[in-house]
C-alpha cells in the first residue's frame, strides 16, 4: 500500500523552510534597540524601553482587506506588506503609543516562496518606515481553505505609551483647529466598492492609463505611515484620528468629547483624482463614508501650534472644533 506524505496533502515543509531562510535578512534589517534574539524561536522578545514613568503597552491588529485581491490578480506583491504595517501603527499613534514591534500572519492555499518573500519584504519596509522591529510571524499553508493563488494577511503591532499621555479626548477644546495630513490614495479601505465601480461599472482594466501611469499602480500605492510625523510633532498635537473605513465622518468623532463637534469644510479637502473618478458613479456622501477622500490622518491642534505643524508637514487646515454634539459635520 502506497504511503501518503504531507506534501501529497498539499503542505510543503521544504518550501516553508526555504521561505524562512529567504526572510531572515529582511527581518534582520528591521532590528532596533530592544530586540532580543532572532527569528526561529517560539516567540519574539522585546525589552521594555527605559525612560517611561508609567509605561503602558498598546496593541493594534488589522489586515489589508480586498486590496489583496488586486495584488494577487496583478502579481504585484511587494507593497501590501507596507499597507499591513501602516494600518496597525497608524492606529497606535492615535493613542500616543510609539510602535515597538510587529508580527504578521500569512495564510495561503499553496506556499509560493517568491510571492511570500515579496510580501514580507513589504512588511519589513513598512517596519523600517515605522521605526519598529519585525520580530516574528506565522506562515500557514492550508490547501482546501484557500485556492492555490490566494493568500491572506493579518498584522499585529505593539507599542509603548506614557499612561498620562493616552487620554487625548479630555484635552480637546472648542477652537482647536483640524489639520489634514494627505493620504497616498485609497490606503487599505473601500476596495470592495472601488473594484465594483472601476472594473464592473466602468469596465476599466489594470493597465488603463490614469494620470500618466497604469491604474493598478495608483490602486496599489501603499498606505502612508505617519509615525515619524507623530514623533516629531508629538508635543504640538492634541489628538489624532486615523481616517480608515467609515471616512472622516465615522473616525473623527472618536477623538471628541460628548459636548464638542468637528466642523469640516468639505471644499477645503484636497480630493485625490482617483476619488474624483469614482465619484462619477457614487453619491458624494457615500464617497465620504467609504473612502478617506485624500485625508489619511487628522490632527487636532491648538491655534498657537498650527503654523509649526503646517511648516513641518504637508498638512493643511480643514476645519475646527466647536460646541455641539459629538459628531463630524461636513459643511
- Secondary structure (3-state) at 39: coil
Task: Among 102, 135, 165, identify where a domain stops.
Answer: 165
Check whether residue 235 and residue 270 sit in a common domain: yes
C-alpha cell belonging to residue 115: 510571492
DSSP bridge partners of 242: 297
E strands, the chain, in order: 35-36, 45-46, 55-62, 98-108, 133-141, 151-162, 177-182, 209-210, 213-214, 239-242, 260-264, 295-301, 316-323, 328-330
Alpha carbon 21 to its chain centroid, in Å, reads: 27
Per DSSP, 223 falls in state: P
Residue 239 counted as domain residue: yes
On whether both 158 and 183 belong to a single domain, the answer is no
Give the pLDDT confidence score for residue 19 in this predicted structure. 82
Say yes or no: 118 and 195 in one domain.
no
Same domain, yes or no, for 206 and 285?
yes
Tell whether pTM > 0.75.
yes
Of 165, 181, 205, at which residue does a domain stop? 165
Domain-located, residue 57:
yes
Query: What is the extent of the structural domain holding 247?
Result: 171-330
Task: Tell me, yes or no, whether 5 lies in a domain.
Answer: no
Whether residue 188 is found in the same domain as residue 158: no
End-to-end CA distance of the chain: 75
Overall number of domains in the chain: 2
3-state secondary structure of 287: helix
User: Is there a contact between 152 and 84 (Cβ–Cβ < 8 Å)?
Assistant: no
Rg (CA), the chain: 21
CATH code, 79: 3.30.1330.10
Per-residue cell: 186:
485609497
My answer on whether 219 and 300 are in the same domain is yes
pLDDT at position 44: 87
**Residues of the chain where predicted confidence (pLDDT) is lower than 50:** none
Residue 5: the pLDDT is 66
- Cα 60 to chain centroid distance, Å, stands at 11
List the beta bridge partners of residue 57.
160
The pLDDT value given to residue 21: 86
Express each pLDDT in 65-93 by its tens digit.
999 999 999 999 999 999 999 999 999 99
Q: Which residue bears the cell 491648538? A: 302
pLDDT at 56: 96
DSSP string of 159-185?
EEEEGGGS--GGG--TT-EEEEEEPSS
- Quote the CA–CA distance of 85 and 223 in Å, as a whole number: 9
Distances from the Cα of 312 to the Cαs of 1, 231, 254, 297, 308, in angstroms? 72, 12, 25, 15, 6
Amino acid at each position: 500500500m502506497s504511503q501518503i506524505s504531507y506534501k501529497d496533502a498539499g503542505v510543503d515543509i521544504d518550501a516553508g523552510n526555504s521561505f524562512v531562510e529567504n526572510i531572515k535578512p529582511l527581518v534582520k534589517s528591521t532590528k532596533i534597540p530592544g530586540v532580543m534574539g532572532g527569528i526561529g524561536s517560539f516567540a519574539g522578545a522585546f525589552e521594555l524601553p527605559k525612560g517611561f514613568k508609567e509605561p503602558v503597552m498598546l496593541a493594534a491588529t488589522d489586515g489589508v482587506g480586498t486590496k489583496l485581491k488586486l495584488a494577487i490578480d496583478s502579481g504585484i506583491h511587494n507593497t501590501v506588506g507596507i499597507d499591513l504595517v501602516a494600518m496597525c501603527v497608524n492606529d497606535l499613534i492615535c493613542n500616543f503609543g510609539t510602535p515597538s514591534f510587529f508580527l504578521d500572519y500569512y495564510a495561503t492555499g499553496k506556499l509560493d516562496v517568491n510571492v511570500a518573500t515579496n510580501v514580507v519584504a513589504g512588511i519589513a519596509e513598512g517596519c523600517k518606515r515605522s521605526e519598529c522591529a519585525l520580530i516574528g510571524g506565522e506562515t500557514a499553508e492550508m490547501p482546501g481553505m484557500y485556492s492555490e493563488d490566494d493568500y491572506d494577511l493579518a498584522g499585529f503591532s505593539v507599542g509603548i505609551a506614557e499612561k498620562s499621555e493616552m487620554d487625548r479626548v479630555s484635552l480637546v477644546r472648542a477652537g482647536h483647529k483640524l489639520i489634514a495630513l494627505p493620504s497616498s490614495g485609497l490606503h487599505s479601505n473601500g476596495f470592495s466598492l472601488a473594484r465594483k465601480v472601476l472594473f464592473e461599472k466602468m469596465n476599466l482594466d489594470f493597465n488603463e492609463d490614469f494620470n500618466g501611469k497604469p491604474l493598478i499602480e495608483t490602486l496599489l500605492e501603499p498606505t502612508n505611515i505617519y509615525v515619524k510625523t507623530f514623533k516629531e510633532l508629538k508635543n504640538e498635537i492634541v489628538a489624532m484620528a486615523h481616517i480608515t473605513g467609515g471616512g472622516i465622518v465615522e473616525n473623527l468623532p472618536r477623538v471628541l468629547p460628548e459636548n464638542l463637534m468637528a466642523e469640516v469644510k468639505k471644499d477645503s479637502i484636497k480630493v485625490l483624482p482617483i476619488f474624483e473618478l469614482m465619484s462619477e458613479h457614487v453619491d458624494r456622501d457615500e464617497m465620504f463614508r467609504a473612502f478617506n477622500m485624500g485625508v489619511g490622518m487628522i490632527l487636532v491642534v491648538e491655534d498657537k501650534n498650527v503654523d509649526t505643524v503646517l511648516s513641518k508637514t504637508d498638512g493643511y487646515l480643514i476645519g475646527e472644533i466647536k460646541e455641539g454634539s459629538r459628531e463630524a459635520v461636513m459643511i
